[in-house]
Amino acid sequence: MSDAVVITETRTLPYSFTLPVIGAAGAFFGIFVGAAQGSTLMGIIGGAVICAAIAWLALQVFGTDQEKTFRWAIVAVAAVAGFLLGGLPGLVVGALFGWFIGWFTYWIGRSRYRAFLPPYLTGGQVLWHYSFRVLCGAIFVFLITPILVVMPLSFNAENFFTFTPEMLSFDPEGYSLRHYRDFFTSNDWQQALWNSVKIAPMATLLAVSFGTLAAIGLSSEHVPFRRAIMAILISPMIVPLIISAAGMYFFYSRIGLQGTYLGVVLAHAALGIPFVIITVTATLVGFDRSLTRAAANLGADPITTFFRVQMPLILPGVISGGLFAFITSFDEVVVVIFVGSANQQTLPWQMFTGLREQISPTILAVATILVAISIALLSTVEILRRRSEKMRGMSPS
């Protein structure tokens, strides 16, 4: 947004608007400070008065010329006040609050909030515009917080699932790598990791090789019973996992596959197939068939055509389908619990048992590692998607 054009002139708004608004924001923050210190009412009044005073100082005494100096001063004062009230965590919160209130004062007081909006909007529309963004921001916070909270907690020095006072005061004693050490030295976890590493790639290989062939077949123009075939191939994604797991458990124990490595690999491959089919058929939608005809015309046999012409073009789709299949198998827990035996205990299974029975923060260390892996996979898929769209001549959205 920094490169957006300023389309509405900013101006200093009257105090009758600025002071109450900033005072209200101060009162809101005052609630928390006051409640923590024992008197909510005092917090509200104090917060409102202090913030209104800051606003008056900013707009009347310092103005825009000394904006930077003044904002740093507020940050410093708020940080010190926070430290006095609540120690090190208070310092961080105070500094953040100081930064926010400084920015907010100028943003409101100089009507900067209108800068990137059309000049004809009414006040209500502007208010709605920003409330909507705040609402969306809150939803994004809801989406991302649980994942972010896990990471610092995994460095907890204690066997707790929450922040200890030492962690909050940034005491190095409060942090340690012991849960990571646990993970890398415990036999159970290492066995589970090894099982996951053995199962997921095999399942992915099966799903990708069968799935790619079938997707190529499905994309040709004349396929009899296309809908029915598609419905069958997609069904592992639609049928609830518990039903797949129950069915596979009954059936695989009839034919002696229950509790074997092969059984788990087959089950996971079946679950990954829909993802391969969907991504590869999506890639094939933009595939230019005259290329294979040209290759055939130039004397290439179908296998050469496939590997030299078609495959390189659909490769991004195949790889991202493979990644989907991989993550499906790597994350899968319901089916493996039923189809596998103790010898096939995978990482998610171990986490599931851990969460249900003996709770140990080692799980959080594993979770952090898995988040790192998923970030890596997500970036790969995004890059591949863009590459594929570029290769097929679509503009990346």
Residues of span 43-72 touching other proteins by CB under 8 A? none
> Backbone phi, then psi, for 156, in 5-degree steps?
-60, 135
With contacts defined by CB under 8 A, how many residues of the chain interact with other proteins?
102
Q: In angstroms, what CA-CA distances link 73 with 57, 77, 99, 100, 209? A: 12, 6, 9, 13, 63
Q: Nearest distance from residue 204's CB to other proteins, in Å?
A: 14
* Contacts with other proteins, 106-145, as mask; x by CB under 8 A: -------------------x--x---xx-xx--xx-xxxx
Distance CA(176)–CA(158), nearest Å, equals 9
- Compare residues 53 and 198 and give the one whose CB is closer to other proteins: 198
* Contacts with other proteins, 211-250, as mask; x by CB under 8 A: x-xx-xxx-xxxxx----xxxxxxxx-xxxxxxxxxxxxx
Q: 392: which 2 tokens?
A: 């097929």
* Contacts with other proteins, 257-286, as mask; x by CB under 8 A: ---------xx-xx--x-x--xx-xx----
**Is the Cβ–Cβ distance between 130 and 113 less than 8 Å?**
yes
Q: Residue 86 carries which side chain, given as an amino acid letter?
A: G
Contacts (CB under 8 A) with other proteins, residues 143-202: 143-147, 149-150, 153, 160-163
Distance CA(217)–CA(281), nearest Å, equals 10
Distance CA(214)–CA(277), nearest Å, equals 7
Distance CA(260)–CA(258), nearest Å, equals 6
Task: Report the residue from 331, 360, 387, 389 that binds other proteins according to the rule CB under 8 A.
Answer: 331
Task: Report the residue from 177, 375, 383, 394 that binds other proteins according to the rule CB under 8 A.
Answer: 375
Select from 14-22, 48-56, 177-185, 352-360 the region that touches other proteins (CB under 8 A): 352-360
Under DSSP, the state recorded for 217 is: H
Q: Nearest distance from residue 75's CB to other proteins, in Å?
A: 22
Using rule CB under 8 A, residue 351 touches other proteins: yes
Q: Nearest distance from residue 49's CB to other proteins, in Å?
A: 20
- Number of neighbours of residue 176 by Cβ within 10 angstroms: 13
Strand partners, 175: 156
